[in-house]
Amino acid sequence: MPVASAQPQCGIVESIAYPVDRGAFSIMQDFAVPNYRFRGMYHTGEDYAAGRGGTLGQPVRAIAAGRVTFSSPLAWGRDGGVVIIEHTFPDGSIFYSQYGHMVEVEGAAFPRPFTCVSEGDILGVIGEARPAPHLHFEIRNNNFDLAGPGYTEADPFEEGYRRPSKMLTNWQFALSEAHAWHLDVIDETGPRTPPIVLFDNSLLYLDTGRVSRVTSDGRVLWRTNLEREAVALLPATNAAIITYADGRMQPINDQGALGTSWETGIAPASAPMLVGSGFVFRTGDGGLVALNSDALTAAWRLADVPPIVRWASSGGVLALVTTSDELIVAANGEVISRQALAGAGSVTPTPDGALMAYAAGGIFRIDAPYALDGQPARTSGSALALAADGRAFVLDDGVLTAFAPDLGILYQYAVPGVGGVFDLALHGDILRFVSTHGDIGAVRTSDGVLCGLTRVFGDDRARLWSALGDDGILRVGIADQFVGIDWREFLGACG
Ligand SMILES: [Zn+2]
């Protein structure tokens, strides 16, 4: 029966939403975790429940328009019934959403097979299930007429199952007006070195053993596999220089051809930090090494530097915030100052060629005495940015604070729903931020208006990167995805 070779008889997905109210329901058992009640097999979906008896009898809704391919109140016996819906997405992909542990009640009968449903249609209500009432929700690309067992022996992803909250979050973004393109990378936390933007707004990035070039609109142009472990890409005239973990370097051109490699004797363990005209790396033995701009020889070395969480440089001076919440300022191989911060701080260059830092306790110029300004102690993945006129912006724990040049507070508010570690950048009057939780936002600095806010699926370990191209596309890297955002569309009325 050719049911799976879908004609989009029930429409193309134009919007998508969660099957239950995410304000009340949370994930009780995550995707792909082993469950020892089921011999350690892997969970094929996400289980949703609400607190304190708020789950039983709650409605379950279709996540998007689609066609019912399976519907049976008896599918899982005493553990309730199952509905499966087929969805056709604008890119032509087809996925099935499955809703399990439901029962029919008056006014909430299961939809009949082969009928069309719309986003938000009630499919049934949550019934009794072991060990407690919950919705088993899954998304997969096969078995349109099979109420699956909920667990697999093999990696569920390999079996065609997808992480439902990731699919929903990313499709919500992909279906939004500002979405331009989306590209998945392999490394779960994202490329370990920032991508390089080439002259035509294409990107060069390093991803688990290969370098790829992506066109300005998000299509992979070529990939070059590398024979050794690479840790960084350095921008170079003819594209980039690949830095290998064993200390070798090798040019790669914009067509993906590798040049002759050379030995530096320096084994980098971090992404490159641009200081003056050269690059500085943290090395595997816990030191810092600065390369001359020829990428051949070391300009200076420094021992005993803890892992780095933030850095900024200005006028050849490098400021580092370390995992041990220390602010280290170094230049030409010498430590200028070393001070303990209260919480995770951040640093940024100033327009006049100095550096500023933020930590619980306040903002201070690192070339001036630490000036406390009575700020409440809060820091968790803070970010700091400075405007040319001396105003400072801090995003910390989801709270945005704008400071006047004299550090008086101009405005302060909690940006709704954002969190994680932040990264900030300024473009004229617009401040943009990205976070490890997947948040992407834009704020008008003059009055603090939140102009745009969207979200992709995040990861607490995510590496962050963003760049606004001269083609009007904001390119963002969060964890294992790059996305392109139409900047003007995203800014809305602020644009
Ligand atoms: Zn489940």
Q: What single letter denotes the amino acid at residue 105?
A: V
Give pLDDT tens digits for 68-92: 999 999 999 889 999 999 999 999 9
34 contacts: CB under 8 Å, gap ≥ 6: 40, 41, 42, 43
Residue 373's pLDDT is what? 46
Q: Which fold has domain 179-223+307-494?
A: Methylamine Dehydrogenase; Chain H (2.130.10)
Taking the centre of ligand 1 as the mean of its atom positions, its distance from the CA of residue 29, in whole angstroms, is 7
Taking the centre of ligand 1 as the mean of its atom positions, its distance from the CA of residue 495, in whole angstroms, is 44
Percent of the chain predicted with pLDDT > 90? 65
Out of 17-21, 91-95, 109-113, 381-385, least confident range: 381-385
163 contacts: CB under 8 Å, gap ≥ 6: 31, 32, 46, 139, 157, 457
Residue 293's pLDDT is what? 74
Taking the centre of ligand 1 as the mean of its atom positions, its distance from the CA of residue 3, in whole angstroms, is 26
Residue 6's pLDDT is what? 47
Whether residue 469 has pLDDT greater than 60: yes
Whether residue 26 has pLDDT greater than 90: yes
State how far the Cα of 212 lies from the Cα of 67, in Å rounded to an integer.
38
DSSP β-bridge partners for residue 263: 248
Taking the centre of ligand 1 as the mean of its atom positions, its distance from the CA of residue 234, in whole angstroms, is 45
Q: What single letter denotes the amino acid at residue 28?
A: M
Q: Which fold has domain 224-305?
A: Thrombin, subunit H (2.40.10)
Taking the centre of ligand 1 as the mean of its atom positions, its distance from the CA of residue 47, in whole angstroms, is 5
Taking the centre of ligand 1 as the mean of its atom positions, its distance from the CA of residue 59, in whole angstroms, is 17
Taking the centre of ligand 1 as the mean of its atom positions, its distance from the CA of residue 149, in whole angstroms, is 9
Q: Please state the rounded mean pLDDT for residues 377-386.
A: 73
When computed from its CA atoms, the radius of gyration of the chain, rounded to whole angstroms, is 25
State how far the Cα of 424 lies from the Cα of 465, in Å rounded to an integer.
10
Taking the centre of ligand 1 as the mean of its atom positions, its distance from the CA of residue 101, in whole angstroms, is 9
Whether residue 170 has pLDDT greater than 80: yes
- CATH number among 3.90.1150.170, 3.40.50.1000, 2.70.50.60, 2.70.70.10, domain 25-163: 2.70.70.10
Return the number of other C-beta atoms located less than 10 Å from residue 377's C-beta. 10
Taking the centre of ligand 1 as the mean of its atom positions, its distance from the CA of residue 184, in whole angstroms, is 26
Percent of the chain predicted with pLDDT > 70? 95
Taking the centre of ligand 1 as the mean of its atom positions, its distance from the CA of residue 137, in whole angstroms, is 7
Run of H or E residues at 169: helix 164-174
Q: How confident is the model at residue 326 (pLDDT cuts 50, 70, 90)?
A: confident
> Are residues 398 and 380 in contact, defined by beta-carbon separation less than 8 angstroms?
no
Taking the centre of ligand 1 as the mean of its atom positions, its distance from the CA of residue 144, in whole angstroms, is 18
Would you say the CATH fold of 224-305 matches that of 179-223+307-494?
no
Taking the centre of ligand 1 as the mean of its atom positions, its distance from the CA of residue 274, in whole angstroms, is 48
Taking the centre of ligand 1 as the mean of its atom positions, its distance from the CA of residue 150, in whole angstroms, is 6
Taking the centre of ligand 1 as the mean of its atom positions, its distance from the CA of residue 406, in whole angstroms, is 55
Taking the centre of ligand 1 as the mean of its atom positions, its distance from the CA of residue 479, in whole angstroms, is 26
Distances in Å between the Cα of 297 and the Cα atoms of 4, 141, 237, 287, 294 are 60, 52, 18, 16, 7
Taking the centre of ligand 1 as the mean of its atom positions, its distance from the CA of residue 342, in whole angstroms, is 42
Whether residue 466 has pLDDT greater than 70: yes
Secondary structure class of 480 (helix, strand, coil): coil
The order of strands in the sheet holding 298-302 is 273-275, 278-282, 288-291, 298-302
Taking the centre of ligand 1 as the mean of its atom positions, its distance from the CA of residue 186, in whole angstroms, is 26
Give pLDDT tens digits for 200-243: 999 999 998 999 999 999 999 999 999 999 999 988 888 999 99
Taking the centre of ligand 1 as the mean of its atom positions, its distance from the CA of residue 417, in whole angstroms, is 26
Q: Please state the rounded mean pLDDT for residues 291-309.
A: 85
Out of 50-64, 185-199, 294-308, least confident range: 294-308
Taking the centre of ligand 1 as the mean of its atom positions, its distance from the CA of residue 121, in whole angstroms, is 22
Out of 10-14, 125-129, 138-142, 357-361, least confident range: 357-361
Phi, psi of 86 (to 5 degrees): -95, 130
- Tell me which of 363 and 115 has the higher pLDDT: 115
Chain-wide mean pLDDT for the chain? 90
Whether residue 151 has pLDDT greater than 80: yes
Taking the centre of ligand 1 as the mean of its atom positions, its distance from the CA of residue 151, in whole angstroms, is 8
Domain residue spans in the chain? 25-163, 179-223+307-494, 224-305
Taking the centre of ligand 1 as the mean of its atom positions, its distance from the CA of residue 492, in whole angstroms, is 40
Q: Please state the rounded mean pLDDT for residues 272-291.
A: 87
Taking the centre of ligand 1 as the mean of its atom positions, its distance from the CA of residue 36, in whole angstroms, is 13
Strands (E), 323-436: 326-331, 334-340, 346-349, 355-359, 362-365, 383-386, 392-396, 399-403, 409-414, 422-427, 430-435
How far apart, in Å, do the first and last CA atoms of the chain sit?
Answer: 51
Q: Please state the rounded mean pLDDT for residues 327-355.
A: 85
Q: Which of 119, 122, 73, 121 is nearest to 100 (CA)?
A: 73
Taking the centre of ligand 1 as the mean of its atom positions, its distance from the CA of residue 104, in whole angstroms, is 19
Return the number of other C-beta atoms located less than 10 Å from residue 239's C-beta. 23
Long-range CB pairs of 290-294, under 8 A, 24+ apart, other chains included? 290/333, 291/264, 291/266
Phi, psi of 169 (to 5 degrees): -60, -45
Taking the centre of ligand 1 as the mean of its atom positions, its distance from the CA of residue 45, in whole angstroms, is 6
Supply the pTM of this predicted model. 0.88
Whether residue 370 has pLDDT greater than 60: no
Q: How confident is the model at residue 247 (pLDDT cuts 50, 70, 90)?
A: confident
Taking the centre of ligand 1 as the mean of its atom positions, its distance from the CA of residue 30, in whole angstroms, is 8
Taking the centre of ligand 1 as the mean of its atom positions, its distance from the CA of residue 86, in whole angstroms, is 19
Taking the centre of ligand 1 as the mean of its atom positions, its distance from the CA of residue 478, in whole angstroms, is 28
What is the torsional sign of CA 148, 152, 154, 160? Answer: positive
Taking the centre of ligand 1 as the mean of its atom positions, its distance from the CA of residue 141, in whole angstroms, is 17
Taking the centre of ligand 1 as the mean of its atom positions, its distance from the CA of residue 143, in whole angstroms, is 17
Q: What single letter denotes the amino acid at residue 213?
A: R
Helices (H) and strands (E) in the chain, counts: 2, 44
Residue 368's pLDDT is what? 56
Taking the centre of ligand 1 as the mean of its atom positions, its distance from the CA of residue 275, in whole angstroms, is 51
Q: Please state the rounded mean pLDDT for residues 33-41.
A: 90
State how far the Cα of 346 lies from the Cα of 329, in Å rounded to an integer.
13
Q: How confident is the model at residue 179 (pLDDT cuts 50, 70, 90)?
A: very high
Taking the centre of ligand 1 as the mean of its atom positions, its distance from the CA of residue 153, in whole angstroms, is 15
Q: Please state the rounded mean pLDDT for residues 403-421.
A: 92
Residue 8's pLDDT is what? 61
> Are residues 252 and 258 in contact, defined by beta-carbon separation less than 8 angstroms?
yes
Taking the centre of ligand 1 as the mean of its atom positions, its distance from the CA of residue 215, in whole angstroms, is 40
Taking the centre of ligand 1 as the mean of its atom positions, its distance from the CA of residue 381, in whole angstroms, is 33
Secondary structure class of 274 (helix, strand, coil): strand
Burial zone of 495 (CB within 10 Å; 0-12 exposed, 13-18 middle, 19+ buried): middle
Q: Which of 100, 97, 102 is nearest to 143 (CA)?
A: 97
Strands (E), 64-198: 66-72, 81-88, 94-103, 116-117, 122-126, 135-140, 151-152, 161-162, 179-184, 196-197
